[in-house]
Amino acid sequence: MIVSAVIVGVLWSTWHIQYYAFGPAFFLSFVTMSVAVSLIMAVLVRGTSRRGSLLVAGVFHWLLNLGILILLNFEQGGLRNMLILAASSVVIAAVVVGGNRQVTR
């Protein structure tokens, strides 16, 4: 699960090609955030049906985009905001993935 989530996160981040324009630090932060969010989603959709997986992933992505739009406004290229989002996502992913491993043992 972890390897596939990392691959999906990297591929997902390259889909957002417009963020290359904000510089390498911004884009690497975005890649980091994408991988972390992919890990979170992998845990959230684990064990659900395909229809449930799509619903969870779609709603989660929508909420993430809405939160970014309202709170961070990194569309303007704010590196500080992107770094905060990436760091927060990594911490949350570590908690979610670590907690999931303890539950599934």
Question: Residue 86 — pLDDT band, cuts 50, 70, 90?
Answer: very high
Range of the domain at 65: 2-104
Is residue 75 over pLDDT 70? Answer: no
pLDDT band at 52 (very low <50, low <70, confident <90, very high): low
Listed in sequence order, the residues at least 6 apart from 86 whose beta carbon sits closer than 8 Å to its beta carbon are 29, 30, 32, 33, 36
Cα–Cα distance, 47 to 56 (Å, whole number): 12
For residue 101, pLDDT beyond 80: no
Q: How many domains does the chain have?
A: 1
pLDDT at 35: 96
pLDDT in tens, 62-72: 998 888 887 77
User: Long-range CB contacts (< 8 A, 24+ apart) of 67-76?
Assistant: 74/26
Dihedral pair phi/psi, residue 42, rounded to 5°: -60, -40
- Say how far apart CA 68 and CA 100 lie, in whole Å: 26
